[in-house]
Amino acid sequence: MDSGMNFPLPSKLVSPFAIGVEVTPKCNLRCSYCSVGYNYDNNPMKIEDLRKIFKDCLDSNIKLIDITGGEPFIRNDIIEVLKSIDSSIVFTIKTNGTLIDDQLAFELSKFSNLRGIGISIDSSNAKINELTRGKGVLERALNGIKSLNKYGVQFGLMTTVNRYNYKVLPELLELAKKIGAQTITYNRPIYVGKGSSSESFLFNGNELREIAHLLDDLERKNFNKVDIGEWKLLAELDLLRKEIDGNSFNSRVQVENGCTLGFSNLFIKYNGDVTACPFLEEPICGNVYKENIMHIWNNSKALNQLRERSYIPISNVCVTECKYREICAPGCGVQTSRTGETTDSFFCLNN
């Protein structure tokens, strides 16, 4: 049976649009579902190596560098690291926010190419937030945000939906508005690292679809403030599921899959290894200490195999008999690569 859905195949860019750089695997927190929680004891990148990487980014026409960890601000030399990024390249920083003080915020305010800082908070309720992120973390993150506001540094909130916070997600949006966040991003569970065994990520299909519609409604009512990522695709697919159940399905539809694994971005780990996504441990597509970014982008066999795997023809996605097969989305390439399955269970409409 041919699929009625059309999930457009992206084109590989001439060069990566964005590069994520894990400047350190070390972190001052121990979040329960952390995707990199097994690398805390490894050494951070040397600043001289980071300077070479940022120069390679410039030579490769990279438009955006995303500074990540671990916790980037655990580095005492983080400001010197950021100064190594050419002013023509914009950068962002992902952080838990707890190490930001007035002095650091003042230094960050001097960067004209700093697009914004993403701060991870899972709930506006301190007791709920501490279930995944630790006791006292919310207060410390909010203190860091006060410093950012004091010096006019733009920031957004990031939250990963889990069993503890999924019933109070709108309250986090209200907190974002109150403290002056530019945006709030609601991320889906990714079952890697400590998240692969975290009970906080266990949802059934009905719960996931209920959350997706809640978040879709929040996004519609708060345009340009709320980003719900792959939750939006799940909400759209669930509406199509209901059409199938009601025998009113129009097969001539097009839905963006959302995952551009290997087509637009790369991620550089603390040891120089390059992967197609920060959530992927394998395959290793190359190492920036041995070859430059563009050589990896154009010649990595592992990267090309990932590109091919990410977009299996929909008619071959599911080997079981399922009435929703026509609208089955390939979904997250990390999930399919990790499990060896051809589709992402997050989007499964038959559970």
Residue 164 clears pLDDT 60, i.e. is over it: yes
Say if CB 61 and CB 85 are below 8 A apart: no
Q: What is the reported pLDDT for 8?
A: 53
Span 279-306, pLDDT tens digits:
888 889 999 999 999 999 999 998 988 7
Residue 102 amino acid letter: D
- Residue 104: CB atoms within 10 Å: 18
Residues with Cβ within 8 Å of residue 84, at least 6 apart in sequence: 47, 50, 51, 54
Q: What integer is the mean pLDDT of 23-38? A: 84
State pLDDT tens for residues 123-162.
Answer: 999 999 999 999 999 999 999 999 999 999 999 999 999 9
**Mean pLDDT over each residue of the chain, to the nearest integer:** 86
Amino acid at residue number 301: K
Strand intervals (E) in the chain: 5-6, 18-22, 64-68, 90-95, 114-120, 155-160, 184-187, 226-227, 253-254, 265-268, 273-275, 286-287
Query: Residue 58: pLDDT band by 50, 70, 90 thresholds?
Result: very high
Only one residue has tokens 């009113």, namely 248
The set of residues, in sequence order, having a beta carbon less than 8 Å from that of 253 and lying 6+ positions away, is 4, 5, 6, 240
- Rounded Cα–Cα distance for residues 29 and 197 (Å): 18
- Averaged pLDDT for residues 248-255: 60
Q: Is the pLDDT of residue 258 over 70?
A: no
For residues 303-327, one letter each, b for 16 or more C-beta atoms within 10 angstroms of the residue's C-beta and e for the rest, the string is beebbeebbeebeebbeeeeebbbb
Mean pLDDT of 228-247: 87
How confident is the model at residue 312, as a pLDDT? Answer: 46
Amino acid (one-letter) located at 32: S
Q: Quote the pLDDT of residue 314.
A: 45
When mean pLDDT is compared across 219-233, 238-252, 293-307, the lowest value belongs to 238-252
